[in-house]
Structure 1
Amino acid sequence: MTAKAAEDRNTLGWLAISGLVVVVAVPFAFIVLQAVFPQLGRGSLAAPFSHLFSTLADPALLRMAGNSLGLGIAVAALSALIALPLAVLRAFFRVPFALFWDVVLLVPFMIPPYIATLGWIMSLQPRGYMEQLLGLHLASFLFSVPGVVFIMAMNGFPLIYFAMSRTLETVGARYADVGRLFGAKPLRAFFRITLPLSIPGLTASLLLVFALAIEEYGTPAALGSRFGFQVLVTGIDNRISDWPIDLPGAAVMSLLLVLMSLGAFMLQRRIVARGNYQTLGGKPQAQAKKPLGVWAVPVTLLFTFIAFLATGLPMLAILATALSRTISGGLSPDNLSLNNFAAILDDSGGALRALTNSLTLGVATALIAGLLGAVSAYVVVRSRFGGRGFLDILSALPNALPGVVVAVGLILAWNQPFLPITPYNTALILLLAYVCILLPQPVRHATAAFQQIGDNLDAAARVCGATPITVFRRIMLPLILPSLATSMLLVFAIASRELVASLLVAPVGMMTTASFIWRQFEQGSVGIGMAMAFITILLTTMLPLLLMSVLRRMSAN
């Protein structure tokens, strides 16, 4: 290797490490330091561990940790209970309107959880839409732990549905069919053959739902506060938002949340490592899906019912509220109006500024996270950089950092009195938060794409005198661009509506769509908040879909 090639290789490696240190390592390190040294904010390392043990001994903290753990497990279990039957039907049978159900069940993922929760509140609360239409309400269920679990599962089950339907299609039914030839009944063949072969996909999707559940802020904050149900995320918010501010306590609680995420990740890795899920016959061949026969109508009704609960009801509630002149006017033709949408266009309360801020931050986050993720993945997978092991750890760390933890870490890191210059109280702090939270998306996509590219391209480029930077820029980046662009569009969609970081670290006077909607509900302007929510859902869903369509056409040509 020439000196120039070695220099370029090191340049890419140190560029990736520098970016990940600023975005990931610094906030995480300050969470650990603040938990150990309670006087860190005053520039002192006195009395180490003094606040750590007192906080851990607090019964309220143990109760919140138990609530978070129980909530995560319950949401993952209920999501699997809903998703698995649908995934099995979708994978092995000719479900009527199958592609339509795939699109409809994708929508709950595109609806921010806190917005969906607000839709459920408007529907099930006393004098809500359900009571206006049917004469009854479900407030006792809504404002309860089972209600919180149900609503969060309605948002989380599509992740398991899509993961498992694709996994089961890959595994195929032929192995279970062989088991049935030897006398196994259909259920026994499924649970003893097909399901075990699908364990990697199932555990990965369950882990993702669990992680999303324990870090979700909007649903526990909107519902749990009504009946005294607190989890770690809401507890952290109280510690840094209510006087007296307790940053050491928030840091300790953040570490507990990280440990839960890491524990779930290690459990998933152990489950997968204990078994062998490879088949001996090579890749299963695609088989024709079986007809449902007399079960076609019941299965269609099942998909219709689940799709209505997960997608139809929240969207109808959001739209009905956005079109209402007044909430007290109810579902009446005389109460329908476009006034709330007009208020958004008139920049009422800074609505257009909030929308512009979110879209701008979404684009910037997608670009920075995409570039940093691509460079990091390239160095780890394709280069011989000496620090790629450390870089691999840094790029994986955000998987275990919930959004509220990232926000707390950024507050602790960039609010220190000794810093001569800081991004704190500027839009840059939000950008750092979004990039850290969403960095795993482009890293995963880019890593998978680089692993599928043969080594012969690198060798041919080196023979022609290309340096690592040239190889990355002229060869590798164009090859992974479709996969990377998909992940960047997903980053844009999520960043444009991110809630917890927007509430905790946004500079004074700056609002995003998420914080605008949340504030409107707190102030009682529910209609304007729902109008903004509807616009946000349309933009963050349609823009990525439109751009993906354009990318497909460009690649086809």
Structure 2
Amino acid sequence: MGAKSVQPVNPAVLLAAIGLVIVVVVPFALIVLQAIFPELGRGSLAAPFSRLAQTLGDAKLLRMTGNTMLLGLGVAALSALIAVPLAVMRSLFRVPGALVWDILMLVPFMIPPYIATLGWIMSLQPRGYLFQLFGFDLAPFLFSIWGIIFVMTLNTFPVVYFAVSRTIEAVGSRYADVARVFGASGWKAFLRITLPLSTPGLAASLLLVFAMAIEEYGTPAALGRRAGFDVLVTGIDLRVSDWPIDLPGAAILSLILVVLSFGAFLVQRWLITRRSYQTTNGKPQSFEKRELGRWKAPVVAVFALVVFLATCAPLLAILATALSRTLSGGLTWSNLGFGNFITIFSDSTGALRALSTSLGLGVTAALLTGLLGALSAYAVVKSKMRGRGVLDVLTILPNALPGIVVAVGLILAWNQPWLPITPYNTALILLLAYCCILLPQPVRYATAAFHQLGDNLEAAARVFGASPLTAFRRILLPLIFPSLLASMLLVFAVATRELVASILVAPVGMQTISTYIWRQFEQGSVGLGMAMAFITILITTLFPLVVLSLMGKRGSLL
């Protein structure tokens, strides 16, 4: 009986495994090890678990964890309260200017949360723009837990809006119509039929909003300190950035944050898997949206109000501050000018260097995550190698790793004294952080695209002598590229303005867009910070649109 043949290793799978180990496994493993072995930084495995009881027994930890949960649940609940009614109206009725409202609700994605928060501070603080225009301010509300939830919700509710509106459109109205034939009211048919069938989209979007809220650093840092509202993210930052440095405590808090994110993921899985939500049976469905009738004006007014608060108000505050010569001069024509923009483009404060650094890192992160995402998705979907399930878990793990946790893991992993060579204190450490945080986007897009490709294309290439890597590069990668490009543009937009990892692991003397803006506010140069913020929003909005437009023209030519 012959020996069992050993299946050769697919180079694409090997590259995916190596990349995932470097980008995902190393920082997460070091967080776990540091939490267990507090002396790990000194090269010792002594006194395991000795800091666990001390950290978990800290009264402040219970308060920070409770505040984090309150923040995440509050933002998710308010996002649902705002987004679900809008999504229902958008998907079931003919809303005037529906496409325009959709585009305007995309803009909050392009405004980094910490920049939007700074805009709200300029508007609602004492002597802010609201006071200058109408004679009162909302500072007590802004610098409170409810103000933090409100500001963060305006940045996250579009996630729920787009997910639920698309889900309801896919469900259609025929099931609700059947219920109405049998005597159910329109409201009851919606609550008992349409809304439950939309659970997958609603649960997935609320999970994402919860995860975004508990890992957001800029808004709790800017508003929470004055409100005395500490969360796990600010607690981790305090332990990493303030003396005495407490790396074991930061690692333990990081693991608690990971547990919260992963717990939300499990809740979503339970909601989706406990019953069937299938509504498609292969037969075409006609779906005619209803007229709003006498509700047309109120519905348009609600859309306009939400768009004003989420998009127009922060953008106007950012632009007004960027054009102001001095903050004390207020909103007067004599105080407006382009001096801050001239200072930015003269590079006297290092703004252009920060801009070019972030743009370079954003492009590089998009290319690397796109390649690694495509390889990882190929290994999981198309390869027959053992261990595919492990690789799949590794591609999902970054979803449960907030940015500050990734930053802590990279500090622990690459700042060890015994390492002969390290990317720490170089631009490469920032690149690793961005790749880990944003890798799930290309992976999910590429996975969906690979599921749509049959196996016969790669098999045909192999018959004609192509290696697995050649078949991947010449056949499969071009076919999934349109989907992959969309995810890479998203990675670029987010990486160029990422804040928390940039603050924690940026090399000494290197500035990115986010650290430049944050430090200008700390130094009192608010106008310069807002000018840079406005330029960033323009770049991260226009660049993806230009690329997609060019790709569309190229496709039409081909």
TM class, shorter-chain normalised?
over 0.9
Are the counterparts in 1 of residues 427 and 507 from structure 2 also a CA contact under 8 Å?
yes
Match of 1:136 in 2: 136
- Residue 284 (structure 1) shift: 5.8
Please identify, of 527-536 and 464-473, the stretch whose mean Cα deviation from structure 2 is larger.
464-473
Question: How far, CA to CA, are the matches of 1:217 and 1:203 in structure 2?
Answer: 24
Which letter does structure 2 place at the counterpart of 1:441? Q
Distance 1:284 1:205, change over 3 A: farther
Equivalent residue runs for 1:539-554 within 5 Å: 539-554=539-554
Match of 2:299 in 1: 299
Equivalent residue runs for 1:83-98 within 5 Å: 83-98=83-98
Match of 2:289 in 1: 289
SS in 2 for 1:53: helix
Please identify, of 465-474 and 129-138, the stretch whose mean Cα deviation from structure 2 is larger.
465-474
Match of 1:411 in 2: 411
Question: How far, CA to CA, are the matches of 1:396 and 1:275 in structure 2?
Answer: 23
User: Is 1:456 matched up with 2:467?
Assistant: no
Question: How far, CA to CA, are the matches of 1:35 and 1:50 in structure 2?
Answer: 9
SS in 2 for 1:384: coil
Question: How far, CA to CA, are the matches of 2:375 and 2:479 in structure 1?
Answer: 14
User: Is 1:212 matched up with 2:212?
Assistant: yes
Question: How far, CA to CA, are the matches of 1:211 and 1:348 in structure 2?
Answer: 38
Match of 2:34 in 1: 34
Equivalent residue runs for 1:350-429 within 5 Å: 350-429=350-429
Are the counterparts in 1 of residues 167 and 198 from structure 2 also a CA contact under 8 Å?
yes
Are the counterparts in 1 of residues 458 and 472 from structure 2 also a CA contact under 8 Å?
no
Match of 1:236 in 2: 236
Count of aligned positions: 554
Cα shift readout 1:262-296 (whole Å, capped 9, x = no counterpart): 00001100111101101264366241211111111
User: Is 1:72 matched up with 2:59?
Assistant: no
Match of 1:479 in 2: 479
Question: How far, CA to CA, are the matches of 1:456 and 1:241 in structure 2?
Answer: 54
Match of 1:268 in 2: 268
Are the counterparts in 2 of residues 363 and 492 from structure 1 also a CA contact under 8 Å?
yes
SS in 2 for 1:348: coil
Equivalent residue runs for 1:56-67 within 5 Å: 56-67=56-67
- Residue 555 (structure 1) shift: 2.0
Which letter does structure 2 place at the counterpart of 1:406? V
Match of 1:221 in 2: 221
Using the aligned pairs only, state the percent identity.
69
SS in 1 for 2:349: helix
Question: How far, CA to CA, are the matches of 1:182 and 1:457 in structure 2?
Answer: 50
Distance 1:494 1:36, change over 3 A: same
Question: How far, CA to CA, are the matches of 2:255 and 2:19 in structure 1?
Answer: 23
Question: How far, CA to CA, are the matches of 2:286 and 2:64 in structure 1?
Answer: 47
- Residue 460 (structure 1) shift: 2.2
- Residue 389 (structure 1) shift: 1.7
Question: How far, CA to CA, are the matches of 1:51 and 1:441 in structure 2?
Answer: 35
User: Is 1:199 matched up with 2:199?
Assistant: yes
Question: How far, CA to CA, are the matches of 1:448 and 1:250 in structure 2?
Answer: 36
Q: Over aligned residue pairs, what C-alpha RMSD do you find?
A: 1.4
- Residue 545 (structure 1) shift: 1.0
- Residue 310 (structure 1) shift: 0.2
Match of 1:250 in 2: 250
Where in structure 1 do 4 or more consecutive aligned residues deviate above 6 Å?
none
Question: How far, CA to CA, are the matches of 1:507 and 1:237 in structure 2?
Answer: 16
Are the counterparts in 2 of residues 170 and 284 from structure 1 also a CA contact under 8 Å?
no
Cα shift readout 1:203-259 (whole Å, capped 9, x = no counterpart): 000000000000000000000000210000000000011111000000000000000
Question: How far, CA to CA, are the matches of 2:123 and 2:244 in structure 1?
Answer: 36
Equivalent residue runs for 1:309-328 within 5 Å: 309-328=309-328
SS in 1 for 2:10: helix
SS in 2 for 1:511: coil
Which letter does structure 1 place at the counterpart of 2:228? G
Cα shift readout 1:395-442 (whole Å, capped 9, x = no counterpart): 111011000000000000000011000000000000000000000000
Are the counterparts in 2 of residues 171 and 284 from structure 1 also a CA contact under 8 Å?
no
Match of 2:18 in 1: 18
Distance 1:264 1:362, change over 3 A: same
Which letter does structure 2 place at the counterpart of 1:219? T
SS in 2 for 1:425: coil
- Residue 70 (structure 1) shift: 1.1
- Residue 464 (structure 1) shift: 2.4
Are the counterparts in 1 of residues 11 and 468 from structure 2 also a CA contact under 8 Å?
no
- Residue 10 (structure 1) shift: 2.5
Match of 2:81 in 1: 81
Are the counterparts in 2 of residues 365 and 431 from structure 1 also a CA contact under 8 Å?
yes
Cα shift readout 1:11-38 (whole Å, capped 9, x = no counterpart): 2212111111011000000000000000
Gaps of 5+ in 1: none
What's the TM-score, normalizing by structure 2?
0.98
Cα shift readout 1:492-535 (whole Å, capped 9, x = no counterpart): 00000000001000000000000000000000000000000000
Cα shift readout 1:88-118 (whole Å, capped 9, x = no counterpart): 0110111011110000000011100000000
Question: How far, CA to CA, are the matches of 1:292 and 1:550 in structure 2?
Answer: 38
Which letter does structure 1 place at the counterpart of 2:450? F
Match of 2:499 in 1: 499
Which letter does structure 1 place at the counterpart of 2:242? D
Cα shift readout 1:349-379 (whole Å, capped 9, x = no counterpart): 2100000000000000000000000001001
